[in-house]
Amino acid sequence: MDNNIKTIIYIDENNCVGCNKCILNCPVQNANIAYLKNGENKVKVCSTQCIHCGHCVKICDHSARKFIDDTDAFFQNNKKNISLLIAPSLRHHFPNYKQLFGFFKSLGVKNIYDVSFGADITTWCYAKYISENNIKKAIAQPCPPIVNYIEKYKPELIDYLVPLHSPAVSLAIYLKKYFNIQDELVFISPCIGKYDEFNDPNTENYISANITFKNIKKYLDINKIDISMYDEIDYKFFENGIGFTFSRPGGLGENFQLYSDEKWVKEVSGQNIAYKYLDTYIERLNKNLILPDLIDILNCQDGCNMGTGTCMNLFQDDIDYVTTKLKKQNINKNIQEEKYKLKEFFDKELNLEDFYRKYNNKLSIISNLIEPNEIEYENVFNELHKNSETTRSINCYACGYGDCKKLAKAIINGQNLLGNCIFYNKKELELENIKDDFISIVSHELRTPLTAIRGAISLILNNKSKAQADSDQCLQLIELANNNCQRLTMLLNDILDLQKIAAGKMEFVYTCTSVNSLIEEAVNLNKTYAAEYNVNLIIKETLPNMHIYIDKDRIIQVITNLLSNAVKFSKPNDTVELIAKRINNLVRLEVKDYGIGISESFKEVIFEKFTQASDINTRKKGGSGLGLSICKAIVEKQNGKIWFNSKEGVGTSFFIDLPECHC
């Protein structure tokens, strides 16, 4: 990672509300990192990942995304040896631009040049390069975010980027090499991303600073400068062609037609389209499918006329009206006897090699997100309470990704937070409510057996003589106390198991265990309980000589929980079956009942903690409501899986799959 990369787009934490709109609209989503500040969600920019497309600055409703350029330094420093290069789109944002030039001249600026002429040079360079090298497929490069995206994320397209400079740098080269201009050249710019171009070693520092329209206007407003008070100053004259049309979508194609109408120049513009188009471009390249001769591709939907460094408050038709009118005038002026005068001039005066540039593969400076394995995904989805394929593919866009798996990946890579998932927050709120209910219910459950125990003991202690005389009644009271002690112990054990699981401190002792001995022991342990409900408990199918590697006591605990639930929800004289089968290399244990079944509303949360405890109808059957959550955790620790099938009024089958063991 290059730690020297300057962060030119940054977050204002005071304004950021963590709405995730920046994540949603970013073409490279790992350029945004969510984090907590004083318990509040914020989203910052990762400078190495960012391509400076500026879209987050444009769409942020809270003015939390900001950018820096060289405006402050320009106005603070001496301007004695500075000349300005002006982007063609300036005339649209400053209708009285000649008086703005007068203001610049009053500050000491030497000369002011129109980059439209640089665009004319660029068109000539493109036409000559494509013709002389017989280029069949090429991507235009005047847009810095597009170049950034290719260099960082799609370096396989570098060979297709036209190796020639942009209009601004082409003009700078022309001034320095052909006119021996020694001035420091500063670009008055509609684009945040031009910073990257001018600071790229491949542009050789021809232009020293990038000053945006937006920050010029801000400077004028803050300092209450009325440019109408200044004299009009025009550009240092070059008889340009129609290079000013470069700043609108398709402008390169308009210029290129003056050199060749045989080439297919395709216009692609807009942040929502451009980067997806490049992805498709690669696919079509690999499949050798039809592609245009030249792609005129721009990050901004309305081109540089309303780039990321502009005030962006104009209507495109107004711009096009002025541009088209000026285009007609310049075409009439520059075309004589069906010849384009500038082409003849450039052919005679310019050397194509002076305008060549290189690109760098920057894939190594970005931090690609690590692709998690299935277990890591499973763990995060469980933390998000997404326990089914349906909940794992809600893709609601609240997190900014529109893809639950992408959010999970970002969380695993430390770039996002659980709390950015709206489903997670809803479930957490539900669980908080359930926990409150649980505390109330457990308090009641603890109080009930304790009251019974205390009542039994009090009767004995308060009537010692009667208790001694009536031993049968005394024994009944002791049995009542004992039963309630057992009930209390079971509840406390469930709570303790839950705490151990949450803390990762539940201990397991694994042995190679006979399947038949396991299920026989489980049935024997629960026959008395089943008899209390007048339910038959049987082993329906067995697996002789089959073993599984498990913690026997813990799996007995799981089977006991499933059997007791099956018994509780069966009708008198029903049968509960315990079945053992071999499925591939797994042993499948099934607990099957023919009872009331599980309601549809309860199925999705049945393995959640506390859920049963909040269901009053279920509570009438007894139990803490923690058992199935504990069962799931125990089975998964044995490298197993637990699930169920159920139909209301028909019955339920719980299944446990465990890997077989060859002892």
Report pLDDT digits (tens) over 518-529: 999 999 888 888
What are 537's strand-pairing partners? Answer: 576
The 3-state secondary structure of 377-397 reads: HHHHHHHCCCCCCCHHHCCCC
381: closest CA among 398, 368, 393? 393
Per-residue pLDDT at 222 exceeds 90 = yes
Predicted local distance difference test score (pLDDT) of residue 290 = 95
CA 544, 546, 551, 556 dihedral sign is: negative
Q: Where would I find the beta strands (DSSP E) of 570-615? A: 575-583, 586-593
Give 50: exposed, middle or buried? Use CB within 10 Å, 0-12, 13-18, 19+: buried
User: Phi first, then psi: what are they for 79, rounded to 5°?
Assistant: -115, 20
Coil, strand or helix at 134: coil
Whole-angstrom distance, CA of residue 559 vs CA of residue 530 = 14
When pLDDT is averaged across residues 280-292 and rounded to a whole number, the result is: 95
pLDDT over 60 (residue 467): no
pLDDT reported for residue 2:
40
Query: Which tokens in the block code for residue 345?
Result: 């001039």
**pLDDT for 662:** 74
CA dist 271 and 420 (Å) reads 24
Give the pLDDT of residue 260.
Answer: 81
Question: CA-based angle 579:582:585, to the nearest 5?
Answer: 145
- Residue 517's pLDDT band, with cuts at 50, 70 and 90, is very high
> What is the pLDDT, as a whole number, of residue 615?
45
* Same fold flag, 1-68 and 426-503: no
Return the pLDDT at 278: 96
| Residues whose CB falls within 8 Å of the CB of residue 189, separated by 6 or more in sequence, listed in order | 69, 87, 168, 210, 211, 212, 213, 307, 309
Categorize the per-residue pLDDT at 138 as very low, low, confident or very high, splitting at 50, 70 and 90. Answer: very high
Q: Which residue has the higher pLDDT, 493 or 653?
A: 653
Q: How confident is the model at residue 411 (pLDDT cuts 50, 70, 90)?
A: very high
* Pairing mode, strands 339-340 and 335-336: antiparallel
From CA 376, how far away is CA 482, in angstroms rounded? 46
Whether pTM > 0.95 for this model: the answer is no
Answer whether residue 410 shows pLDDT above 70: yes
Q: How do residues 531-542 score in pLDDT, each as one tens digit?
A: 989 999 999 989
Token code pair at residue 195: 């910073």
Predicted confidence (pLDDT) per residue in 48-90, tens digit: 899 999 999 999 999 999 999 999 999 998 888 999 999 999 9
DSSP letter string, 312-338:
----HHHHHHHHHHHHHHHHHHHEETT
pLDDT of residue 116: 94
Q: pLDDT by residue (tens digit) across 345-364?
A: 999 999 999 999 999 999 88
CB 320 within 8 A of CB 195: no
Cβ atoms within 10 Å of 566's Cβ, excluding its own:
27
pLDDT attached to residue 395: 93
Tell whether the model's pLDDT for residue 163 goes beyond 70.
yes
What DSSP line would sit under 182-216, residue for residue? -SEEEEEES-TTHHHHHTSGGGTTSS-EEEEHHHH
Using the predicted structure, report yes or no on whether residue 448 has a pLDDT greater than 70.
no
- Which amino acid would we find at residue 381? F
426-503 is a CATH 1.10.287.130 domain: yes
Token output for 512: 């190679």
Q: Which CATH architecture has domain 511-661?
A: 2-Layer Sandwich (3.30)
What's the pLDDT at 614?
43
Mean pLDDT of 474-484: 73
Mean pLDDT along residues 19-35: 90
List the CATH code of the domain at 1-68: 3.30.70.20
Stretch 369-386: mean pLDDT: 91
Strand order in the sheet with 138-139: 138-139, 294-298, 265-269
Higher-confidence residue of 158 and 363: namely 158
Q: What's the per-residue H, E or C state across 420-489?
A: HCHHHHHHHHHHHHHHHHHHHHHHHHHHHHHHHHHHHHHHHHHCHHHHHHCHHHHHHHHHHHHHHHHHHH
Examine the pLDDT at 475 and tell me if it is beyond 80.
no
pLDDT score at 617: 45
Three-state secondary structure call for residue 12: coil
Which residue has better confidence, 607 or 200?
A: 200
pLDDT in tens, 290-324: 999 999 999 999 999 999 999 878 888 888 888 88
Mean pLDDT on 109-134: 95
Predicted local distance difference test score (pLDDT) of residue 3: 41
pLDDT band at 370 (very low <50, low <70, confident <90, very high): confident
What is the dihedral sign for C-alpha 172, 115, 27, 13? Answer: positive
- The answer to whether 421 and 398 are in contact (CB under 8 A) is yes
* 625 touches 612 (CB < 8 A): yes
Can you give the residue ranges of every domain in the chain? 1-68, 71-358, 370-417, 426-503, 511-661
> Tell me, what's the pLDDT at 613?
37
Residues 6+ apart with CB under 8 A from 374: none
Percent of the chain with pLDDT over 70: 89
